[in-house]
Chain A
Amino acid sequence: MLKKITLALSLSLMSLAASAEVTLTNTVFEVVTIISEDGSKQNHWQQPDKLLPGERVGYQIEVNNKGKEPAADIVIANPIPEHTIYVQDSAKGLNTSIEFSVDNGKTFAQPAELFVEKDGKRVQAASEDFTQVRWKLNTPLAAGASSTVQYIVKIK
């Protein structure tokens, strides 16, 4: 299991090194809940040990500008993987505006503005209806800078 992930990672890293100066890395984590002694709960992202139905998987996507000039209009898009459901409010990214799609990326909007048809009625989309998540960086990425976004899905 661990070996497979490492292999996939190294493959992607290899292909990046050979191409542009802006690189993208995608890393998967197992997300577990930690209950502290005071009873508060926190998410802990750890190396995957076991990935089972019902468990949460976190994706961390890092964009890195290794070039000598800034990169602008940066948009990171990620389809929600098959067999998984987006976990509500889990998408994060500093200085980004986050939007979702319920039509496989044709249109994107804030969750409150997304609607789907259920039983012939137009209703507010729920997180399980999301098909894509998209981060728009609010500022250009300076040369040598990097930015990381993340989100969590639950395995069906």
Chain B
Amino acid sequence: MKKNKLSSILTTSLIVGSALIGSNAFAVGTDAGTAISNTATVSFTRGGSPDSEEASISFNVDEIINVNVTAANASSNITNGDQNVAITYTVTNTGNGPELFKLFDSINSANNGLPLSASDLTVYVNTSQTPGAFNPNTPGQIAYAGESISINNDEFITVYIVTDVPNGSAKDTKTELLLAAVSQTEANGVKASESSFGTVIPTAGEGSTSAIIAAEQGRNDASTELTVTTFDPSKSLVVTINKTILGSTALISNAGTDVLTDQKIPGSVVTYFIKVSVENDGATALSISDIIPTDMTYIANSMRVQNAAGSTINTPTYIAPTLPAATPITYSNFAALTDAADAAAVGGDGASTSSNAAGRVLSITANLGNLAIGEYAILLDATINN
């Protein structure tokens, strides 16, 4: 009709689409696929007699693909060591047809002070239109496993990202969690998730109507920032070390008669028991060092270690070494370490000694590396100098 006249305007002007496609508000629109039919009638008289004609035309309403993700709270206050902290998001289908969406949870790597890792997060979905607070035992509140979820137009689902706050998270540290919902619509190789705003995907809509992307890349996301506002010291990492003498043995010889004594006299072989407890949180790069007293001599290769990650260590029962050889005793659950300098990280046992120029061992070190919550112990022997 006015096409020819208007084509000249087209070259120097901008066509504006509908106002609605630009907004991210609820689409309270006619359902996609709805047929809109129009029948016009003309009545007239000709040669004095009345007559009439009809003309009908129909089209189907196309589909808007739009989604809105909101976080219940832009920020959330937490305490170190909190368990099952649930961050609530709402995913609303603001298009005009039922739509399949996938959910993607993530951590803002530039804002992850707690820190958390992807494996710390579990996503739950509640499809109820009257959802309550997060409770994994509520029927319909299911752990999300990457499936596509159908949401009717103008309906929503509630999504919870659930995590434990590390015991060691310091006060005022923050981590930002994001939830994205992405349309799964595609037709003839064109995916909503790869389409820019305003893209028309033919036949992808309800009833094979066209689908129009009203959310860039068919997606929307929202984030919540967790902040440790309360620090509970009882939940943070505690490392304690305790050193005791397990026992000592000396050999007194007189005219061919040997007597063993547990008195600490020159020549006594003393066995030390050093225990480290790691509580509430894992410890990184933990090493145990001990200075050999001035009047004592470290017995070479006498370091023995026990690793009880997730468990406890009882003080072993003292076993007297055979004198005068004083070979270090093998204790149950303890593994021998060698004094040669080597790093645990490259396959060594992490034990080493430090000697002075004269060859006297001044100190020993057992580098145990990264330790989970639990108890760790070493034994070592030294002789009281004559």
Contact = CB atoms under 8 A, between A and B. Distances in A.
Contacts of B6: 34, 42, 44-45
Interface in A63-87: 63, 67, 69-79, 81-84
Task: Report the contact-size class of chain B (Cβ under 8 Å from the partner).
Answer: 35 or more
B45 A71 contact: yes
Interface string A13-54: 000100110111111110011111100001011101111111
Contacts of A27: 1, 57
B130 interface: no
Contacts of B29: 52-54, 155-156
B51 interface: yes
Q: How large is the interface on A (under 10, 10 to 19, 20 to 34, 35 or more residues)?
A: 35 or more
B129 to A, nearest CB: 21
Interface stretch (A4-12, A106-114, A121-129): A4-12
Given A32-B17, A52-B212, A61-B55, A26 B38 contact: yes
Given A22-B51, A37-B12, A28 B46 contact: no
Contact of B55 (A1, A26, A72): A26
B56 interface: yes
A91 interface: no
Nearest to A36: B13
A81 B3 CA distance: 25
Contacts of A22: 42, 44, 46, 51, 53
A8 B54 CA distance: 13
Contacts of A54: 18-21, 29
Contact of A34 (B13, B42, B59): B13
Interface of B: 1-3, 6, 9-10, 12-21, 27-30, 34, 36-47, 50-51, 53-64, 96, 200, 202, 209-210, 212
A50 B44 contact: no
A61 B40 contact: yes
A84 B3 CA distance: 24
A74 to B, nearest CB: 4
Contacts of A20: 51, 53
A98 interface: no
Given A1-B202, A24-B55, A54-B18, A44 B46 contact: no
Given A51-B62, A79-B39, A83-B30, 14 more contacts: A20-B53, A22-B46, A25-B55, A50-B62, A50-B210, A53-B64, A67-B46, A71-B45, A73-B43, A74-B43, A75-B42, A78-B41, A81-B37, A156-B29
Given A73-B44, A79-B39, A35 B57 contact: no
Contact of B210 (A1, A9, A16, A33): A1
Contact of A78 (B40, B96, B200): B40
A83 B40 contact: no
Contacts of A19: 53
A103 interface: no
16 contacts: A4-B58, A16-B53, A26-B55, A28-B38, A32-B16, A45-B6, A49-B200, A49-B210, A52-B212, A57-B59, A59-B40, A63-B44, A69-B47, A72-B45, A75-B44, A76-B42
A155 B53 contact: no
A45 B343 CA distance: 78
B13 A52 contact: no
Given A5-B59, A16-B53, A77 B18 contact: no
B39 A51 contact: no
Interface string A119-153: 00000000000000000000001000000100000
Given A26-B38, A61-B40, A73-B45, A16 B55 contact: yes
A60 B38 CA distance: 11
Given A1-B210, A26-B55, A83 B38 contact: no
Counting chain B CB atoms within 10 Å of each CB, the highest count among A16, A32, A49, A54 belongs to: A54
A81 B212 CA distance: 23
B45 A52 contact: no
Contacts of A74: 42-44
A16 B64 CA distance: 35
B62 to A, nearest CB: 5
Contacts of A56: 18
Contacts of B16: 32-35
A62 B277 CA distance: 92
A20 B44 CA distance: 12
Contacts of A148: 1
B54 to A, nearest CB: 7
A82 to B, nearest CB: 7
A94 B77 CA distance: 68
A22 B30 CA distance: 35
